[in-house]
Structure 1
């Protein structure tokens, strides 16, 4: 089984549950661990895979809380860093349908410094790039780019999730697209929401969007469609794989559970070429990942809602 290195932010989500989607009316918040790459790392480890988190938190009680959560979930935090800058915070309001409103207060996540010693560990392993804040500047963006180059030179399996947040890129969409393109060109697996697929390709129809993304370079494309399931596309086939029916209470972390579940299953395979040619096997992988994402929406908070292998097999 390969290790999966998850690079990017780990932060505190202050969650207002069932107080309407608009943060301006929320009054009470609950502290939760968050950050897409950290969620993915926990999703993998809770499914009995091997994950390593690479990111930065503040040298403060919130940073300690976050690293403790990852360690409790059996994520390797030996490559995590601490900074004098305060831990990054996000304020999240969730309405009755599980939809979210986000505001970021950015801090220590941007302080991640590149560590050249990691390069040797990427060989024969997997690297997941899925940070919402990784292209917003700071040391993190530089480290992200250098780790990407290392993953390429060590022939790692590369996974990319752009994790587009409209509030972070308002009036800067073209810059976002430009920064994503090198990752799309070289990734083996690209995970996109419907909104992201349309934004990054300029195509409204998914057949055209997938063709564009494949021509750009990405080998396996998954476009998450919420309750409709997931569009799976390779150069050999394209199909929509249904999800299971649930009553969502919080959609936070569903996409991270999905991609984490996919990566854990792929980590057990020796050959990408063989996997790409097997429609049946890829369909099974995405079907199970759909289930992981759906289960995650049935409770509040991302990490504690991620399914275990026992729940997934039930």
Structure 2
């Protein structure tokens, strides 16, 4: 923990129940049975950081129901400081997801997760945080959007590094415009930004080359951009620098759900240790590989030295 027992990282955003198809499926229509897991990009990131030994608080909202209590137990089991507000008039949010080795098919039932209130992000929580993270998903709905933008600005003013996963999924052109405007407001604060190619296409409404994606996000204000590209590895770009990092070799993929969250947790944990951007991307790739090799979340504890040491040994992509 940071001074006074406060968390070093504050993650604020969505926590959901993932109903993951029990067997691999090409789409939800082909899935017959589902298994329950704790999920949501922000929650996944928080638990993965805690698994690596990083003192982390999760600020989120759940329903006052059995699913909400399940989520609390799940994140606390990993060592996360779970600051979950229980909403009495809205159920816990749920997403159904296919198990696949590629991009999953999903259907979202969004309720309590968007009800993050200003009182959940007091200055006392943000004052000693070294890093404040949120997601494009969490920023896509009010009142969470206003709460998170304000919290990020206060955290930055207090000296924290900001981070965002641009995991956006607009349902219309108007919503894409709104989400894009919100992303630009957040990126103007100078965060570390992570996006996949799919995220970028949904955010921009067009397909761009990898370098162009990074350049656009940097022009919007990001301090560093990490573009994840699945089996092709990751491209990391910052002012005056660029690193093309190969993916961790894998014999097979058991479940791709949450791999991006594992990658970014490994990246940020390495960043907090002062590692260079390319080494951070290798750390992320190593943790993502551990996630891809198993169904559901990572084990409650992961040896961070294995992640960081293995990452430092891998070369950059040719």
Is the structural similarity TM-score above 0.5?
Answer: yes
**What is the aligned partner in structure 2 of residue 233 from structure 1?**
237
- Residue 210 (1) aligns with residue 205 (2): no
Aligned equivalent of 2:191: 188
Mapped to 1, the partners of 2:120 and 2:59 lie a distance apart of 12
Matched, 1:8 2:22: no
Give the aligned partner of residue 142 of structure 1. Answer: 146
Distance in 2 between the 1:209 and 1:132 partners?
Answer: 19
Question: Retained in 1: the 8 A contact 2:270–2:279?
Answer: no
| Structure with more relative contact order (C-alpha pairs < 8 Å, separation 6 or more) | 1
Offset of 1:43 from its aligned partner? 0.8
Displacement of 1:198: 4.4
Q: Indicate if the aligned counterparts of 2:121 and 2:151 stay in contact, CA closer than 8 A.
A: no
Contact 2:48 2:262 in 1 (8 A): yes
Q: TM-score, normalised by structure 2?
A: 0.86
Distance 1:196 1:106 in 2: 19
Q: Is the 8 A contact 1:257 1:306 kept in 2?
A: no
Instruction: Tell me if 1:50 matches 2:45.
Output: no
3-state SS of paired residue (1:258): helix
Q: 1:118 aligns with which of 115, 122, 127?
A: 122
Is the 2:10–2:56 Cα contact (8 Å) retained in structure 1?
Answer: yes
- Residue 164 (structure 2) aligns with: 160
**CA positional deviation for 1:19:** 4.4
Q: Which moved more, 1:295-304 or 1:218-227?
A: 295-304
The answer as to whether partners of 1:295 and 1:307 remain within 8 angstroms in 2 is no
Deviation at residue 304 of structure 1 after TM alignment = 4.3
In the superposition, relative to structure 1, how do residues 224 and 35 fare at CA in structure 2: closer, same or farther (>3 Å)?
same
Contact 1:34 1:303 in 2 (8 A): no
Q: Which residue of 2 aligns with 1:69?
A: 74
Partner of 2:133: 128
Cα offset for 1:141? 2.1
Say which SS state the counterpart of residue 100 (structure 1) adopts: coil
Structure 2 SS opposite 1:212? helix
Structure 1 unaligned spans of 5+: 270-274, 276-280
Is the contact made by 2:264 and 2:284 (CA closer than 8 Å) also made in structure 1? Answer: yes
Deviates more, 1:257-266 or 1:50-59: 257-266
Gaps of at least 5 residues in structure 2 are 3-7, 311-318
Aligned partners of 2:242, 2:279: CA distance in 1, in Å? Answer: 14
Residue number among 259, 265, 269 corresponding to 2:264 in the alignment: 259
CA contact (8 A) 1:223 1:230 kept: yes
Q: Which residue matches 1:104?
A: 108
Q: TM-score, normalised by structure 1?
A: 0.87
Q: Check conservation: 2:271, 2:277, Cα contact below 8 A.
A: no
Distance 1:156 1:310, change over 3 A: closer
Structure 1 residue 219, shift from structure 2 partner: 1.1
Q: Any idea what the Cα deviations from partners look like across 1:246-265, whole Å, max 9, x if unmatched?
A: 11121111111111112222
Distance 2:164 2:269 in 1: 15
Instruction: Figure out how many residues of one structure are paired with residues of the other and give that number.
Output: 299
Q: Which portions of structure 1, spanning 4 or more consecutive aligned residues, are displaced by more than 6 angstroms?
A: none
